Amino acid sequence: MNLFPKAIFIAGNDIIRGDTFIDFFEKRYAIDENVKVISTPGHSDKNLSVMVKTKNGIVAIVGDLFEKEGDWKKEGTWEPWSFNPKKQASNRLKIWKNSNYIIPGHGGMFKVDNSIDLEKFDQKRIDKLKS
């Protein structure tokens, strides 16, 4: 933050410039017509994702909402570290359905494969956590 003293920072749902609180947003903050920050809690209660409209489609920068490409294939990849697995699964699905590419918290960007029923994969895992 010291390198960019005039920058606007988004921390949780707060918008800050320097030491000054500017605003608060609940679900979404539009930086401009091509870049939006949205609330996607689950991994933690303050997770945010950045949705970027590009010429190749929507790119979602999601942090640990998705750990890596294929994290839906193997149990124990994201859910043990989730603050709220049910909420995380819901937000994963929202990102999955509304983006073309995902940049996860670990690993490289990947293309969304709409032939994969992410809801089915994640729901099975959440059900196992409850039992």
Tens of pLDDT along 62-121?
Answer: 999 999 999 998 888 888 889 999 999 999 999 999 999 999 999 999 999 999 999 888
Backbone dihedral angles phi then psi of residue 127, each to the nearest 5 degrees: -60, -40
Which residue ranges form the domains of the chain, and what is each CATH number? 27-130 (3.60.15.10)
Q: Is 128 helix (H, G, I), strand (E, B) or coil?
A: helix
Q: Is 63 helix (H, G, I), strand (E, B) or coil?
A: strand
| pTM, full prediction | 0.87
